[in-house]
Chain A
């Protein structure tokens, strides 16, 4: 089956002012998402996951690499063809109240993509807007509301309705719940799951929340400094993390079960600057088991199971397991928290 989205060696460099120099935000990412599936991209802030999502939607131009959408190369798509393509791939942003134009009411906001991409008349458009509102569990009463008078959850539902207006097949969900109150998150996630089932949507779910990704993604890609260090079926990756970074990341999450004592891997060392990346493995500076060989050349991906691969040379002789440590002092715990 043709993947909905295929990224091939995507690179994004942001030039920095007149002095020259570039920020290496994304450094050669390749991935594919099968129809109807959710790929979760996880990583710390600054790992390039949002930049990746924006490139997938052609909201940012990749410096290098190719993007294929449903088999069609869209890397060089421009002008009217690009605008027409946008009906098929949409985005839901982190903070819905910033993502909705403040001076438009809900009706205008949801109608806008319909005006752009369909030739429905005013009556048909209104009917469609109401249908869309219903599909995100809101009613006609919201039509004349301004985004200012919506709660975070309601605003996110409106943003989802707007994204679905043109009946896209693919959505980038960029931290869709992290600006919302805890009790609203679950209902938004349930809604997104239901919509995926009903409409056969394909999701690229960007998040730093491992629990959320574990619960909602089929596949997962772990990013560190603009590279994917480990990728595979979500269950596989979370139960048998192979890359030391994935292991550290997973050990840092708190269990919902208070009887489980957290066993954490403590990371020390500096994160390299994305302006001046080291030649070898990008994680070597913080990796407790880094070898000299790690610092010379970037590691290739190793297959560690069906569809599961990780980029660590210590996988070759099965010495890639990290020793876990109990946090001895609050200071150590805080240190780990900061690394998530």
Chain B
């Protein structure tokens, strides 16, 4: 070692720090891209689909184009010389365009995942705050109730609830939200209990804040990280759960474009060698759930240190 001063890396401005970190973690970058695409499709999916996702085209069980034809078909699509858009993923037994349906499905699957998670986050963090901050008898009751909830075989329960409430998107969202609430409740309650012992919480009381104001303004904002990090993972689960419910016929009603339902309706064609109706939605689910899980996992690793 010489006595020379070691150059110290210049401090990165906050705005660029996130980008710099993402570059160092390609997995997070990939996950982030998948999440972004699925969120965009949840909004614009049906609009950019070449065919109406629930209107039969008349071409029944058209297989996807051969790999060798794809380049020229792309060129023709861009050139606009085709009479009708290509059935990139083929069509199913009722003549629905599978590519359009795969693009349109996030409007159901991702929407349910995001909405259920948002609702669970809201309920779970609020109850968790109350349970963690006011550690009295009612807090104990909230914690025990959530234990009971977590011990129920949730898939079966969800099926029953959704079927009885009319298999609507709303019913699935509410059911999933209630099922996931205990996760957030626990995460938040334990973090709140740790935060509530900090001096600034006593300082808030000392300046004359009401207990509820202290809890929401001075404790909750510092106790949200574990719950927020968990959100991405839960969205992934919820997507899988929705697809699973629909696959079993207990989810959204056909012919709504939904990945699980598409897999189910194509499943009995597999044996006839018609693999495309179920394969493409299957791949779409896998990629999407992987994306949300990776983002959640990386974020969790980061915040755990």
Q: Collect the chain B residues with CB atoms within 8 Å of residue A137's CB.
A: none
Within 8 A of A (CB), among B196-213: 198-200, 202-210
Is B221 engaged at the interface, CB distance under 8 Å to the other chain? Answer: yes
Query: Is B218 interfacial (CB-CB < 8 Å)?
Result: yes
CB distance from B164 to the nearest CB of A (A): 43
Please tell me if A207 contacts chain B, counting CB pairs below 8 Å.
no
CB closest residue in chain B, given A85: B208
Is there an interface contact between B198 and A98, defined as CB atoms closer than 8 Å? yes
Asked whether B206 lies within 8 Å of A91 as measured between CB atoms, the reply is yes
Are B200 and A100 in touch, CB under 8 angstroms?
Answer: yes
* B208 and A113 contact, CB distance less than 8 A: yes
A83 touches B210 (CB 8 A): yes
How many A-B pairs have beta carbons closer than 8 Å: the answer is 57
- Are B203 and A100 within 8 A (Cβ)? yes
Contact A116 B200 (CB under 8 A): no
- Whether B198 contacts A116 by the Cβ 8 Å rule is no
Q: Please report the C-alpha to C-alpha distance between residue A101 and residue B209 in the assembled complex, in whole angstroms.
A: 13
Contact B208 A86 (CB under 8 A): yes
Which residues of B have CB within 8 Å of A100?
200, 203
State how many angstroms separate the Cβ of B293 from the closest Cβ of chain A.
28
Cβ of B209: which chain A residues have Cβ within 8 Å of it?
83, 112, 116
Within 8 A of B (CB), among A232-259: none
Is the pair A90, B210 in contact by a Cβ cutoff of 8 Å? no
Answer yes or no: B222 CB below 8 A from chain A CBs. yes
Verify A102–B208 contact, CB threshold 8 A: no
Residue A103 is within 8 A (CB to CB) of chain B in the complex: yes
Highest count of chain B CB atoms <10 Å: which of A83, A94, A100, A101: A101
B199, A57: Cβ atoms under 8 Å? Answer: no
Tell me how far the C-beta of B143 lies from the nearest C-beta in chain A, rounded to whole angstroms: 18
Q: Is A70 an interface residue (CB 8 A)?
A: no
Contact B204 A95 (CB under 8 A): no
The interface residues of chain B lying within 8 Å CB-to-CB of A54 are 202
A98: which B residues are within 8 A, CB to CB?
198-200
Q: Is the CB of B218 within 8 A of A101?
A: yes
Q: Please name all residues of chain B whose beta carbon is closer than 8 Å to the beta carbon of A86 when the two chains form the complex.
A: 206-208
Q: Number of contacting residues on A, CB 8 A?
A: 27
Q: Does A23 contact B (CB under 8 A)?
A: no
Q: Is A99 a contact partner of B208 (Cβ separation < 8 A)?
A: no
When the two chains form their complex, are residues B206 and A57 in contact, meaning their CB atoms are under 8 A apart? yes
Contact among B200, B205, B218 with A59 in the assembled complex (CB-CB below 8 Å) = B205
**Which residue of chain B lies nearest to A96 when distances are taken between CB atoms in the complex?**
B199
In Å, the complex CA distance between A238 and B221 comes to 47
Task: Assess whether B207 is in contact with A99, with CB atoms less than 8 Å apart.
Answer: no
Contact with B along A31-48 (1 / 0, CB 8 A): 000000000000000000
Least CB distance from B38 to A in Å reads 30
Annotate A275-302 by CB proximity to B: 1 below 8 A, 0 otherwise.
0000000000000000000000000000
- A63-111 contacts to B, CB under 8 A, are 82-84, 86-87, 90-91, 93-95, 98-103
**Cβ A87 vs Cβ B208 within 8 A:** yes
Shortest Cβ distance from A27 into chain B, in angstroms?
Answer: 23
A208, CB-defined interface residue at 8 Å: no
Residue of A95, A112, A117, A165 with most chain B CB atoms under a 10 A cut-off: A112
Closest to A91 in B: B206
A99-B200, A100-B200, A101-B200 are known contacts. Are A90 and B218 too (CB-CB below 8 A)?
no
Interchain CB contact under 8 A, A99 and B221: no
- Report yes or no: A84 in contact with B199, Cβ–Cβ below 8 A: no
Q: Which residue from A90, A95, A117 sits with its C-beta under 8 Å from B206?
A: A90
Residues of A within 8 A of B222 (CB): 101-103
B201's nearest neighbour on chain A, judged by CB, is A101
Point out the residues of chain B lying under 8 angstroms from A102, CB to CB.
200, 222
Q: How far is the CA of A59 from the CA of B209 in the complex (A)?
A: 12
C-alpha spacing A113/B213, complex, angstroms: 13
Task: Report A-chain residues with C-beta under 8 Å of the C-beta of B207.
Answer: 86, 90, 112-113, 116, 162, 165-166
CB distance from A12 to the nearest CB of B (A): 15
Docked Cα-Cα span, A54 to B218, in Å, equals 19
A81 to B208, CA, bound (A): 10
Q: Enumerate chain A residues within 8 angstroms of B208, measured Cβ to Cβ.
A: 82-84, 86-87, 113, 116-117
* Given A83-B210, A93-B199: A101 touches B204 (CB 8 Å cut-off): yes
Shortest Cβ distance from residue A124 to the other chain B in the assembled complex, whole angstroms:
18
Query: CA of A93 to CA of B200 in the docked complex: distance in angstroms?
Result: 9
B207 to chain A, nearest CB (A): 4
Whether the Cβ atoms of B210 and A93 lie closer than 8 Å is no
Give Cα A211 to B204, complex, Å. 31
Residues of A close to B199: CB separation below 8 A:
93-95, 98-99
User: Which residue of B199, B205, B217 has the most chain A CB atoms within 10 A of its CB atom?
Assistant: B199
Residue of B nearest to A114 (CB): B207
Q: Which of A84, A93, A116 contacts B203 (CB 8 A)?
A: A93
Q: Is the CB of B210 within 8 A of A99?
A: no
Docked CA distance A273–B202 (Å) = 27
B215 CB to closest chain A CB (Å) equals 12
The 7 closest A-B pairs by CB, nearest first: A86-B208, A83-B208, A98-B199, A113-B207, A99-B199, A101-B200, A103-B221
- A/B interface sample: 19 pairs, CB < 8 A: A59-B202, A83-B210, A84-B208, A86-B208, A91-B203, A91-B206, A93-B199, A93-B202, A93-B203, A95-B199, A99-B200, A100-B203, A101-B217, A101-B221, A102-B200, A112-B204, A112-B209, A117-B208, A165-B207
Given contacts A83-B209, A113-B208, 14 further A-B contacts (CB under 8 A): A54-B202, A57-B206, A83-B208, A86-B207, A99-B200, A99-B203, A100-B203, A101-B200, A101-B203, A101-B221, A102-B200, A102-B222, A103-B222, A113-B207
